Structure formats: C-alpha cells, structure tokens
Amino acid sequence: MPTTAPSSPAAPSTDRGRRRREAVLDAAEQLFVERGFHGVSVDDLGAAAGISGPGLYRHFASKDALLMAVLDRIWDRLRPAVEQPATTDAEVVLETLLQAQLDLAFEQPAALVLLVRELKHLPDDYRALARRNHRRYVAAWAAAITVVRPEVSSAQAHALALAVHGLIDSATLRRQAMPAEMGPADHRALLERLSRELLTAAV
C-alpha cells in the first residue's frame, strides 16, 4: 500500500480547505480511472473539481503528487487495522482486517483500479514505499492467521492472506462482469463467505 506523497503542500488547516482538497482527490480518482493518468490534464482536473487548473498546485505539487495522494487514501483506510488494532484477540484482528479489505473494495473500488494500473508511472522511491507497506499489511494478516490457526506455517499464512486479497480485489476489478441481479450487498456477502472459507481451508 502507498504512503504519504512527498513534496506536497502542507495539509489545509481549514474545513473549507480540507473539503476542497478531498473534492480534488475525488475528481482525480474518477478521471484517472476513466481516461488513465496520462489522458488527464491539469485543466481537466481543475474543471472537474470546480477550480482553475493552476489552482491545483495550492494543494498538490504536481500531477504525480496528486496521484500519490489518491493512492495514499488506500493505506489511510487500512492503516488503523494494521498499526492500531483495537484488541490483541487474533480472531477479532483478523475479522477487522477482512472487513477493512471489503470496505475498501466496495467503498473505494476506483482506487484499486488505479493501484493496479497506474502505480508503475510513479517514482521508484514511492513504488518502493508502496511495496513495503503492502508487505506490512500482508504480514499483519499472516500474524493473525498463525495465532488463530497454530497448525499453519508462516509461509502458508502469507499464502492464505494473499489468496483472500486476490479474491476480493479481482472480483472488485471485474464487478461489471457480475450478473445485474447481484447487487453490491449480495456481492459483498458472497466474497465475505468465500474469504472465510479460504481462511479456514486445509493447507
């Protein structure tokens, strides 16, 4: 998962500034998904967010920094479950991680598309940070799995964690291929059930 984008202006100190920054991030996320990172201009981003193109630079140092900030919101959503779990009960921690992954998939699916498709366009140091955070995230899952299932090795726990992530992420990225009669709630319930089956599968 990504981490804080470097070289961006300080976070806005007023509610209005924070709302404007979030509006820019929302607009950028949508446009980057629709047109690709290189298919969107600064003027396009400004128009979608309701500000002038150059006005973006009051919030982000560059278009690269804006994409990094969009991707950072993935880690911002997952970070609490990894860094500040509310309990030491491994079963509860694992459940919290699963729900956080599902929340991300169903509440911020566009960000997952960008993470898969656009991360390669960003600087090497940012991609390295993203890989490190992803390893931390998978390690948190694996640690909880090995406590809940002491018969499972660390390597097997990592494989189970990645299998669950792959299931949820791939199904989210292919959401449009799902039958129309399966709404988001049913889709989420199915993925949750399949994830639990994976986590308890024989290895």
Q: How many angstroms separate the CA atoms of 36 and 83, rounded?
A: 32
Nearest to 147 by CA among 89, 190, 98, 202: 89
Any residues with CB less than 8 A from the CB of 113 and at least 6 apart, and which?
33, 173
Q: Among 18-32, 159-173, 181-195, which is the least confidently predicted range?
A: 18-32
- Give me the pLDDT at residue 7, please: 46
- 12 pLDDT band, cuts 50/70/90, is low
Instruction: Give me the CATH number covering residue 138.
Output: 1.10.357.10
Question: In terms of C-beta density within 10 A (0-12 exposed, 13-18 middle, 19 or more buried), how is residue 60 classed?
Answer: buried
Q: Is residue 3 part of a domain?
A: no
Give the count of domains, the chain: 1
Question: How many CB atoms are located within 10 Å of the residue 28 CB?
Answer: 24
Segment 166-183, tens digit of pLDDT: 999 998 888 777 888 888
- How many residues are given for the chain? 203
Q: Is residue 4 part of a domain?
A: no
Q: How many angstroms separate the CA atoms of 132 and 3, rounded?
A: 9
User: Rounded to two decimals, what is the model's pTM?
Assistant: 0.81
Q: Is residue 5 part of a domain?
A: no
Q: Is residue 50 part of a domain?
A: yes
How far from each other are the two terminal CA atoms of the chain, in whole angstroms?
A: 27
Domain that holds residue 146: 15-199
Q: Is residue 183 part of a domain?
A: yes
Q: Is residue 6 part of a domain?
A: no
What phi and psi, each to the nearest 5 degrees, are found at residue 190?
A: -65, -45
Q: Among 5-9, 42-46, 112-116, 185-189, which is the least confidently predicted range?
A: 5-9
Q: Is residue 106 part of a domain?
A: yes
pLDDT surpasses 60 at 13: no
Mean pLDDT of the chain: 86
Segment 71-130, tens digit of pLDDT: 888 888 888 888 877 777 899 999 999 999 999 889 888 878 888 888 888 899 999 998
